[in-house]
Amino acid sequence: MFTTINSASLAGIKALPIEVEVDVARGLPNFVVVGLADSAIKESKERIRAAIKNCGFKFPPRRITINLAPADLKKEGTALDLPAALGIIASDLPELRESVILKDYLFCGELSLDGRVKEIRGALAIALTARESGHRGIFLPRANAAEAAAISEIEIIAVETLSETLEIIQGKIPRPERPDNLSQPDSLNCEHLDFADVRGQAQAKRALEIAAAGNHNLLFIGPPGSGKTMLAKRLPSILPTLTFEESLETTIIHSVAGLIMPGQGLIRERPFRQPHHTISDVALIGGGPQPRPGEVTLAHNGILFLDEFPEFRRSALEVLRQPLESRNITIARAQAQAIFPADFVLITAMNPCPCGHYGDPTHECICSASQIQRYRQKISGPLLDRIDLHIEVPAVATKELIDPVHNNREESSKTIRHRVLTARKIQLKRLKDYSPRHNAALSDKNLKRFCRLDRDCRDLLRTAMDRLGLSARAYSRILKVARTIADLKEQPDIATTDIAEAIQFRSLDRRLIL
């Protein structure tokens, strides 16, 4: 008996339609899976056999062949367990083989030995594929239902066991109600991370405001305990909330990476990724035999924070150069190629020297000149060129920490966020016909169109370029930052004060790399 069940398999951050063809024929008992299946799929034979028996069905003692079509596409994961088991059971049930549900719906799910349908990776991507391929709906594990429910155009049928799936198909029990699309828990506790708690550091806060308004990359340099990490962790509190499209993109990426909790729906907050400095190149940029997203992709639409910046391996840092320019990353392997999005704000933090006290008036630096030079040269000039804002974060004065008068002067995240949102709205209106819609991603053509300079601005910028020895890339970054500063002021044109402030944030360009 021959049965075809519709399913899907992940390829990068997308899901491709798969037909699970099941043939149960006479002959010596055998169970074969063909069609470029990975180890997890090949091992599914024992899971499927045990699940069918433990659910009270008879496992046919015949020659069973399962073909995963198209046969030239590499398949991975455990989502094909459920459709394969349904195909085997249907060989003894003619009414099941003729069911329109098997033809009109897509099935995915991992089977446990007792017949439970367990969660899978990439459920949202699979639901999108079901919609695009014209299916009426999708059968999937209950743990993934809230995530897939974001796709409103198709029916979402959440199941807990193989037996329940069969009873729904046969009409013996009613279909469950459509699940709610639950929002993500507030894992960052942004309401508790407020800029009002940060004492002093007015220039660093200003830089973060500019970074949030225009999606600019930022480097903090300062002694230990000056508040670099504390400042960076408060950046999400002033960023705009995710749009539905951004939320969908972010959830798909995290779902494919297996980071969505059971029962969790769309991600509502911008990601904040903080990998340790021992991270490998592949873990940072993505890859593997079957390409998987790395930290730069997991930070898409959010923030990638690299603390102790020079402690990262040089090779890991250099792979950031391409995604910082193109805002995506192409992973090419012999058997597969994938393009992952990587539009994030890069926030980095470092000490001025190995001991951390170079230039600190209250602590003596014990590092030699050669040690300081080697430490700073871990960050290459081309990488530093791609960071828009360079900020020195000095140690906070005792008076600012203790004096209650100073403590009441700090602006709250709510106040700063209001200015950021206003600047973002100005950019969205200006760039309504372009993508992405923030100043950091302005193309060369749009840079000339939206960053026109008067004579005084050009003279000031020319002088700075000559004296600091800035590159052409640094020139364009200064223009983009100046455009954001003008937007924060709600001014249509860039003024000399905007150019001057943007140049001030590039002053570390040649002082860091000796």
**Confidence band for 189, pLDDT divided at 50, 70 and 90:** very low
95 pLDDT exceeds 90? no
Query: How far apart, in whole angstroms, are the C-alpha atoms of residue 219 and residue 217?
Result: 7
Query: 358 lies in a domain?
Result: no
90 and 155 co-located in one domain: yes
473 and 499 co-located in one domain: yes
334 pLDDT exceeds 80? no
Query: 61 lies in a domain?
Result: yes
Q: Phi and psi (nearest 5°) for 71?
A: -75, -15
**Confidence band for 263, pLDDT divided at 50, 70 and 90:** confident
> How do residues 501-514 score in pLDDT, each as one tens digit?
999 998 666 554 43
Query: 123 lies in a domain?
Result: yes
Q: What is the pLDDT of residue 182?
A: 53
Calculate mean pLDDT across residues 195-210: 92
Q: How many angstroms from the chain centroid is the CA of residue 425?
A: 23
Query: 335 lies in a domain?
Result: yes
User: 3-state class of 476 per DSSP?
Assistant: helix
- Diameter of the chain by CA atoms? 88
Query: 60 lies in a domain?
Result: yes
Pick from 129, 154, 169: which residue ends a domain? 169
Which residue range forms the structural domain that includes residue 458? 442-514
115 pLDDT exceeds 70? yes
Whole-model pTM?
A: 0.91
Q: What is the pLDDT of residue 404?
A: 60
458 and 419 co-located in one domain: no
Helix boundaries (H) for 387-493: 398-402, 404-407, 413-430, 444-450, 455-468, 472-488
Q: How many angstroms from the chain centroid is the CA of residue 447?
A: 27
Pick from 169, 203, 234: which residue ends a domain? 169
Query: 184 lies in a domain?
Result: no
Q: What is the pLDDT of residue 285?
A: 93
Residue 266: which CATH number?
A: 3.40.50.300
> How do residues 370-410 score in pLDDT, each as one tens digit?
999 889 888 888 898 899 999 999 988 777 777 765 556 78
Contact 25, 264 (CB under 8 A): no
Buried b / exposed e along 427-461 (16+ C-beta atoms within 10 A): beebbeeeeeebbbbbeeebbeebbebeeebeebb
Calculate mean pLDDT across residues 274-279: 95
Calculate mean pLDDT across residues 14-39: 94
Q: What is the pLDDT of residue 407?
A: 57
Buried b / exposed e along 374-403 (16+ C-beta atoms within 10 A): ebbebbeeebbbbbbbbbbbbbbeeebeee
62 and 114 co-located in one domain: yes
Residue 30: which CATH number?
A: 3.30.230.10
> How do residues 438-450 score in pLDDT, each as one tens digit?
999 998 889 989 9
399 and 452 co-located in one domain: no
90 and 14 co-located in one domain: yes
26 and 134 co-located in one domain: yes
191 pLDDT exceeds 60? no
157 and 219 co-located in one domain: no
- Residue 323: how many other CB atoms lie within 10 Å: 27
406 and 269 co-located in one domain: yes
422 and 478 co-located in one domain: no
Query: 280 lies in a domain?
Result: yes
Query: 63 lies in a domain?
Result: yes
Q: Considering its fold, how many domains does the chain have in total?
A: 3
Which pair of tokens denotes residue 165?
């799936």
Query: How far apart, in whole angstroms, are the C-alpha atoms of residue 302 and residue 193?
Result: 16
303 and 248 co-located in one domain: yes
Q: What is the pLDDT of residue 185?
A: 45
216 and 270 co-located in one domain: yes
- Please report which helix (H) or strand (E) contains residue 384, including its range: helix 381-385
Percent over 90 (pLDDT), the chain = 71
Pick from 169, 186, 218: which residue ends a domain? 169
Q: What is the pLDDT of residue 178?
A: 87
What beta strand segments (E) does 176-323 contain? 218-221, 272-273, 286-287, 292-293, 303-306
Query: How far apart, in whole angstroms, are the C-alpha atoms of residue 77 and residue 68?
Result: 13
Residue 491: which CATH number?
A: 1.10.8
